[in-house]
Amino acid sequence: MADQEPVFQIQRVYLKEASLEQPNSPAILLEQEQPSVDIQLGVEANPVAEGIYEVCVTATVQTKIQDRTVFLVEAKQAGIFEIRNLPPEQLGQIMGIACPQIVYPYLRGNVADLIQRGGFPPVHLSEINFQAMYEQQQNPAGADAAPSSLQ
């Protein structure tokens, strides 16, 4: 039956949240020392309606000189996807691998743009292997550490 065909469609990709903080400006902008850069990434998926899911990829980029923050960027890029008629194990893979791969390039561009608009050289987030990241999350050290699954 046609109703049982698998469905995977992008409904929308959008910037859900973005912030840039420069708590020690302008004094820290005069520093000549090279800052350290810390980048954290995360993926989350939530059902919105029957067969409709929101997948978000978040990035936190913090640069410091010694113990003082130069800038802190937090951004969350999201996508709404229609996903129907897939077995649960495939649904998890689609939301943990395919959807983040679609959303992530937009996040990379927005983070680089936000940092550059803040007066800094852009920080380009590196490519991510979402399959390896997903597999690592599926095989935690303990079963209790497994990420929450979607119904």
Question: What pLDDT, on a 0 to 100 scale, did the predictor assign at position 88?
Answer: 85
Q: Indicate the pTM of the whole model.
A: 0.84
Question: What pLDDT, on a 0 to 100 scale, did the predictor assign at position 1?
Answer: 46
Question: What pLDDT, on a 0 to 100 scale, did the predictor assign at position 146?
Answer: 40
151 residues of the chain, pLDDT tens digit each: 456 899 999 999 999 999 999 999 999 989 889 999 999 999 999 999 999 999 999 999 999 999 999 999 999 999 999 999 999 889 999 999 999 999 999 999 999 999 999 999 888 899 999 999 888 888 865 444 444 434 3
- Topology (CATH level 3) of domain 2-122: Bacterial Protein-export protein SecB (3.10.420)
Question: At residue 131, what are phi and psi to the nearest 5 degrees?
Answer: -65, -45
Question: What pLDDT, on a 0 to 100 scale, did the predictor assign at position 147?
Answer: 43
For the chain, domain boundaries: 2-122
